[in-house]
Amino acid sequence: MKTIPGMGEERMYPAVLLIDDDLISREVIATILTLHGYTLHTAESGEEAVALLDRRDFEPQAVLVDVKLPGLNGVALVEALRSRSGAAVYAISGSNPPEELQAAVDGFLLKPFSPDTLQKLLDAHHRKPDEPAATDDLPVLSARILGEFRQMMNEAAVREIYAVVVGDLRGRIAALESAMARRDAAEVRRIGHTIKGGCGMAGALQAARLGARFETEGDYLCNSGNLHASL
């Protein structure tokens, strides 16, 4: 397994796990992706990829997997990947895969494929139609939760809750800046999870949505190294 830092311009693209036992294919695909700013991990076998996901130090949003790996491969490997990750799984091969494998994956690329074809596949993944609405489209506060607070306590107490939320967020942002400077994706995801949970309870919708983004996209947000660009 190899970790390859992203190069080139900053982009908000999925973190990718590439599983391929062919050295040349691996290096060519890795070069294409890193030059376009992706965070990328590679594995030479299905077993190595499963072990990587089990360690939980990397959370891909997309997986590219060769269909003819030695050892763990095919549908069994796809099932193992899906049990450990919510990533989209794309098969890559020099020949058409069996129907049962095509049914198990989210898409297929026939080798040799062009950089543009690979880019379009991952761009399509990044722009899934069922993605949550952009943060700017959300109200700052949930009217329902705010109303419930006002039924339970006086206005001063409600304001105190949100003062605590704002103060806590300031500390979390400083911690995020530090974690991203260190490229500590696990810590970014942990902080994001905390923000999502706490702000969600308080009805701070935009903050909770941003927390969810840091939790799920910590790897390639770290790759940008820029918190303000991520926001």
The CATH number assigned to the domain holding 159 equals: 1.20.120.160
Contact 8, 32 (CB under 8 A): no
Query: If pLDDT is split at 50, 70 and 90, which confidence band does 47 have?
Result: very high
Query: If pLDDT is split at 50, 70 and 90, which confidence band does 40 have?
Result: confident
- For residue 63, is it left (φ>0), alpha (ψ between -120 and 50) or beta? beta
Both 95 and 161 in one domain: the answer is no
Q: How many CB atoms lie within 10 A of CB 55?
A: 8
Both 76 and 144 in one domain: the answer is no
Both 49 and 100 in one domain: the answer is yes
Of all residues in the chain, the percent with pLDDT exceeding 70 is 81
Both 7 and 67 in one domain: the answer is yes
User: Residue 94: which CATH number?
Assistant: 3.40.50.2300
For 193, the domain range is 135-230
Both 145 and 215 in one domain: the answer is yes
Number of domains into which the chain is organized: 2
Do strands 62-66 and 40-43 pair parallel, antiparallel, or not at all (unpaired)?
Answer: unpaired
Query: If pLDDT is split at 50, 70 and 90, which confidence band does 138 have?
Result: low
Q: Which residue has the higher pLDDT, 36 or 45?
A: 45
**pLDDT of residue 110 exceeding 80:** yes
Contact 197, 226 (CB under 8 A): no
Last residue of a domain, one of 66, 97, 126: 126
